[in-house]
Amino acid sequence: MKIIVRTSDMKVGNCLSKTFITDSIGSSIGMAIFEPKVGIGGILHFMLPDSSLNGNKATGNPFIYADTGIPAFLEAAYRLGAEKPLLRIFVAGGAHILGSGGFPNIGERNYVALKEIIKENDLKIDCEDVGGCFYRSLSLEMKNGRTRVNIPGHGEKDLL
C-alpha cells in the first residue's frame, strides 16, 4: 500500500506492507527515517528552514519548517518505539530551483538547518542526495527499509 506524504506533512508507521512516497522535492527537503529493529519508519517533507518566519503558521502545521517539523517527526517515531541509536536517516532535496518564492538559496538554507537539527539531536545522516537544479521524489519501503530517490530524466537510485 502506497502512502503519499504531501509537502509540509509527515507520516510515520510500522506496517510492513506500506511504502511511503513524497514527490515534488525541489528546494524543500524530504527526510526518510527507518529503525530496522522494530520496523518503524516514515517521511517528512518540509519547505522552509525556520519557523520564526511565521510562528502562527508553525503552530498550525509544524511540518512546514525544519526547526519544528524535524523534532515532531522524530518524536512521533520514538512514541511508536523507534530506538534513537538504531535510527537510519536518508535525505533528498535542497535543490536550487529558480523562482523559489522569493527566498534566496532556500534549498541550501533548508539543508543547513536540517544538518544543524540532526547534530543537535545527536543523530547522523546515513545517505543523501541533495543540491543540483532538479526535482526529486523519495520513497521508503517498510518491509526492508529500502529508500530510493527518483530524479525525472536522470533515473532512480537506492539510498539503502
Q: Give the Cα separation of 69 and 10 in Å (integer).
A: 8
Give start and end residues of each alpha helix (H) in the chain: 55-60, 66-79, 106-120
Distances (CA, A) of 123 to 117, 130, 153: 9, 18, 33
**Residue type present at position 123:** L
Task: Give pLDDT tens digits for 91-141.
Answer: 999 999 865 555 568 999 999 999 999 999 999 999 999 999 999 999 999
Which residues 6+ apart lie within 8 Å of 75 measured at CB?
none
Sequence ranges of the domains in the chain: 2-158
Domain 2-158 indexed as CATH 3.30.1330.200: yes
Task: Give pLDDT tens digits for 20-66.
Answer: 999 999 999 999 999 999 999 999 999 999 998 766 777 789 999 99
Q: For residue 44, what pLDDT is reported?
A: 98
Q: For the whole model, what pTM was predicted? A: 0.93
Q: Give the Cα separation of 50 and 80 in Å (integer).
A: 26
